[in-house]
Amino acid sequence: MPGTAEAAAIDTEPEQENPGMRGVPRQDLRGELFAAADRILARDGAAGLTSRAVTDEAGCAKGILHNHFDGLEGFLADYAADRARRAVDQLSGLPERAGQGDIVDTLTDAAVTLFDSGALPTAALISARPALATRMATVIDADSALGASERIFADYLSAEQAGGRLPADQDAHTLAFALVGSVHHLFFTSQGAELDPARVRQLVRTLLHL
């Protein structure tokens, strides 16, 4: 039986936003569960994301995912969608930085931010569990985080071209696709949990011929 404090952490009112949940944890507990999933994914990979692993990592009762989400798969779909949205939100201001600072520095910082935000680990999770992509569609817009990120990078590159800091004869959308795809590849071939900024910087210089 959950203790009094633990029971108080659960909002038992009917779920307002996501029909995939039977009851909604308070926002702070939801965040703790997602943060626990972040740590497990970075440490153990997608295979480590089991119900018990998540609740143990978060220090929660073992039945929370099944009692208050639509099971493990429902929790993971919510988690992946949340991290996808966060990635896009964190990159949304990139086009406004056009004309400021060094282009290579700006793109390197943005690409590393994309990784740190959880977008690429989430892509790994979806690759390991393809059915999640379908479930995510019930809680997030059809556009993927990586697709939206490509558009943000393309908008930044286009703005730099318009300002004369990049050659206008390069296709901004192709460059953005190559950049995001290459960072994606670096993630999947990385031996550690962190993306190496030096490798990203070299990649940016190579793609842009800078």
User: pLDDT tens for residues 25-76?
Assistant: 445 788 899 999 989 987 888 888 899 999 999 998 888 888 778 888 888 8
d(CA 210, CA 205): 5
Question: Where is 24: in which H helix or E strand?
Answer: strand 24-25
Pairing of strands 24-25, 10-11: antiparallel
Tell me the pLDDT tens digit for each residue of 166-190.
Answer: 999 999 999 999 998 888 788 777 6
Domain locations in the chain as residue ranges: 18-208
Architecture of domain 18-208: Orthogonal Bundle (1.10)
Residue 203's pLDDT is: 94
Is the pLDDT reported for residue 207 higher than 90? yes
Tell me the pLDDT tens digit for each residue of 73-92.
Answer: 888 888 888 888 888 888 89
78-18-90-46 Cα dihedral, nearest 10 degrees: 0
- Sign of the C-alpha dihedral computed for residues 60, 30, 142 and 85 taken in this order: negative
Residue 183's pLDDT is: 84
Is the pLDDT reported for residue 103 higher than 90? yes
Q: What is the rounded average pLDDT of the residues 146-170?
A: 92
